[in-house]
Amino acid sequence: MTSAVVKAWSAWAPGIEDAVAWREWAAVPTVLETSGHPDAAFLPAMLRRRCKPITRIMLTAAFDCCEGREPSAPRTVFASRHGSINDSISQLEALAQRKAISPTAFSHTVHNVQAGLFSIAAENHQASSSVSGQQDTFASGYLEALTHLDRDPDRDVLLVAGDVPLDPMFAPLVEEAAAPHAVALLLAAQGEGTALRFAVGTPRPAPRAAWPEPVEFLRWLLSAEDRLALGSGECGYEWQRA
């Protein structure tokens, strides 16, 4: 089991867009809406035009989490199960028809596009990882953030986890609670904040939440519950308040 401190958090989902709204939601959780994205007006116009909904959502959470802090300072981990896969459909269809695809369009469907655009917008030159781990994507991203803290304990790590619902072409292939969302956590090796212990082990039976795992983590973080268990695959993941 290893530890980290949550120094700050932020999240975005349709209709739940600030800390007050999230605390109200966490007290009486309900199923999230299935469509919507922020305008991300804080981004320069030329950069904003390049941002798909998933990128606007994740960057909104990322910058909100860094409010009052320098966004260029932390290392970053962007965790998304699906990333920009919805935007690849037209390119896959073009390939199937042996047509040329746009290099610009392709550049916005790679899995690290959110990390890349955040680094540009925040002028962040620190180390960054982009993670996808199927149903364990959030826990995988959290574990990746801990490895960054282990390598450089004096530098905070910004973890941003998010997704949007899959296109109907792909949605039947995956069983999940689908909703546009992003949760950002500013993690540190020590200091002021909420200290958490994290462990990887054998899966434990746990009811599947009606919302995505990053949102379930935030609900728990804002609650008085001592322990959270996630994971329905080969591994289980557990957080405890230190």
Write the CATH number for 26. Answer: 3.40.47.10
Is 14 contained in some domain? Answer: yes
Distances (CA, A) of 167 to 99, 170, 171, 179: 22, 6, 6, 12
Greater pLDDT, 185 or 89: 185
Is 209 contained in some domain? Answer: no
Is 171 contained in some domain? Answer: yes
* pLDDT one-digit tens code per residue, 137-169: 999 999 999 999 999 999 999 999 999 999 998
- At residue 102, the pLDDT reads 76
Is 91 contained in some domain? Answer: yes
Is 227 contained in some domain? Answer: no
The structural domain count of the chain equals: 1
pLDDT band for position 73 (cuts 50, 70, 90) = very high
**pTM for the whole structure:** 0.93
- At residue 229, the pLDDT reads 92
- At residue 206, the pLDDT reads 62
Would you state the structure tokens that stand for residue 48, as one six-digit string?
A: 């904003």
- Mean pLDDT of the region 64-81: 97
Please give the Cα distance from 110 to 117 (Å, whole number): 12
Is 223 contained in some domain? Answer: no
Is 32 contained in some domain? Answer: yes
* pLDDT score of 89 more than 90: no
Would you state the structure tokens that stand for residue 234, as one six-digit string?
A: 């080969």
- Mean pLDDT of the region 180-196: 97
Distances (CA, A) of 193 to 77, 187, 209, 222: 19, 9, 26, 13
Is 219 contained in some domain? Answer: no
* pLDDT score of 218 more than 90: yes
- At residue 110, the pLDDT reads 84
For 183, the domain range is: 2-194
- At residue 50, the pLDDT reads 83
SS3 45: helix
pLDDT band for position 4 (cuts 50, 70, 90) = very high
What residues are paired with 229 via a beta bridge? 238
Mean pLDDT rounded to a whole number for the chain: 92
Other beta carbons within 10 angstroms of residue 196's beta carbon come to 21
